[in-house]
Amino acid sequence: MTPEMTAADVDFLVKTLELTPGARVLDVPCGHGRHSLEMARRGYRVTGLDISEDALRMARAADSTVEWVQGDMRRLDRQSEFDGAFCFGNSFGYLDHASAQEFLRAIARALKPGGRLAIETGMAAESILPAVQPRGWFRVGDILMLSERRYVVEESRLDIDYTFIRDGVVETRPTASYTFTVAELRRMLAGAGFEPLATFSSSAGEPYQLGSPRLILTGRKT
């Protein structure tokens, strides 16, 4: 992800979350902190939570003023601390239905009344199902990658095996991501204590529609 793409995401988040100068913002999960770091550079007070200590080690090396917290995003234990929160990247799709509800309830507890949440996912059913292919080859630099996909209808889950080939070395890593319809996500937000707001397909603010590869869903704590 280029710095320009990160800056565009943060521009969108500042506007959509209605952040005022110096607002407290939660990035969960934060990974190595590319959004948190940009938020901090703009003067926001940022907390980034992630389960990966390796990712947080990279984040701390880049900026020690951000509050970096190691933990499970479903177990977030904060009460009415944040003006806004966001979950960007692929992480929301890793949660099954029960875990996703648990996560949303934890975010609701952590936000102040009226605080806003933005969730990005590439795993909305309206994004995945019209375009899913059983396999595809990709090249990134000197790495050749094969992705083999299986959609498990009974679980609404997309299983993908990624095989990486580099200098004759072959390594395969499995992943599993859960899909939700946009309507289901909106109901889950409402059930966790949010008023569902808008749906977008990009940080440019374009409306989400069938086949859009990216969904950004927003809500406000009631």
Q: Which amino acid is located at 87 in the chain? A: C
Kindly give the confidence (pLDDT) of every residue in the chain, 222 residues in length, as a single tens digit, with 9 standing for 90 and above.
899 999 999 999 999 999 999 999 999 999 999 999 999 999 999 999 999 999 999 999 999 999 999 999 999 999 999 999 999 998 999 999 999 999 999 999 999 999 999 999 999 999 999 989 999 999 999 999 999 999 999 999 999 999 999 999 999 999 999 999 999 999 999 999 999 999 999 999 999 999 999 999 999 999
pTM across the whole model: 0.93
Domain ranges of the chain: 3-124+180-221, 130-178
| CATH T-level assignment (fold) for domain 3-124+180-221 | Rossmann fold (3.40.50)
Please report where in the chains the tokens 């977008």 appear, as a residue: 200
> Got the DSSP string for the chain?
--HHHHHHHHHHHHHHTTPPTT-EEEESS-TT-HHHHHHHHTT-EEEEEES-HHHHHHHHHH-SSSEEEES-GGG----S-EEEEEE-SSGGGGS-HHHHHHHHHHHHHHEEEEEEEEEEES-BHHHHTTT--SEEEEEETTEEEEEEEEEEGGGTEEEEEEEEEETTEEEEEEEEEE-B-HHHHHHHHHHTTEEEEEEESSTT-PBP-TT-S-EEEEEEE-
Instruction: Tell whether domain 130-178 is in CATH 2.20.25.
Output: yes
Alpha carbon distance 137, 129 (integer Å): 19
pLDDT in tens, 8-38: 999 999 999 999 999 999 999 999 999 999 9
Backbone angles phi, psi at 89, to 5 degrees: 105, -155
